[in-house]
Amino acid sequence: MNRPLKYRIADSLGLRPYALDPSTRRILACTSGSILFAGLYIVGAYVRIPLYPVPVTLQTLFVLLSGAVLGGGFGALAGAIYLLLGASGLPVLAGSGGGLAGLASPTGGYLIGFLVAPVLVGRLFRNRTSYIWSIVVFSIGSLTVLAFGIAHLTLFYTHDFSNSLLMGLLPFIPGDALKVLAASSIYRSYKAIVHHRSAR
């Protein structure tokens, strides 16, 4: 029997992913997805869009999408991988390079939000995935990241909640609103592609 090329290549390498049960395949696929999204976090840290009053990076966009696409657990895993890479000293943290000092910097709270926001997004998408609902969910996810950032600023830097809002919330609202809309559109396209492929 003439087997597909991808299976013959896998056999030659001693790999047989097609022989695994569906749940194991899903875990492997989602873990690979977590690694991919961690890479996108790194890329997003270096992509800066000039927007008033502060430049916008694409990190939060990928944080939101990781929870929607991978689910809460694997979305949080992407954040954990990214933070571990940053803590190890690699220059992957936006605006602060890398190392433990980067995690303790004024942006450290937002980074912790990268662990929590995907969990919320993943849970909220379990039963509803409409476009309007995606805007609501991604807004909640974005505000979660901002909330952790503001809390960190208040506790360790400004010691003043009003000051933290002025520094850590208001400047980011325009950019985050655009990222919420972008994430909603991307996720809608992703769901359409998945639905089309599953209907074949």
The residue count for the chain: 200
Pair 107, 172: CB distance under 8 Å = no
- pLDDT at residue 7 in the model: 52
Residues 14-52: tens digit of each pLDDT? 555 555 677 887 888 899 999 999 999 999 998 988 877
What's the predicted TM-score (pTM) here? Answer: 0.86
- Listing DSSP states for 109-166 in one string gives HHHHHHHHHHHHHHHHTSS---HHHHHHHHHHHHHHHHHHHHHHHIIIII--HHHHHH
Residues 154-178: tens digit of each pLDDT? 999 999 999 999 999 999 999 999 9
Domain over 29-198 is classified CATH 3.40.30.10: no
- pLDDT at residue 98 in the model: 73
Both structure tokens of 184: 């909603």
Vertex 150 angle, CA 144 and 152, to 5°: 105
- pLDDT at residue 17 in the model: 54
Domain ranges of the chain: 29-198
Does the pLDDT at position 66 exceed 90? yes
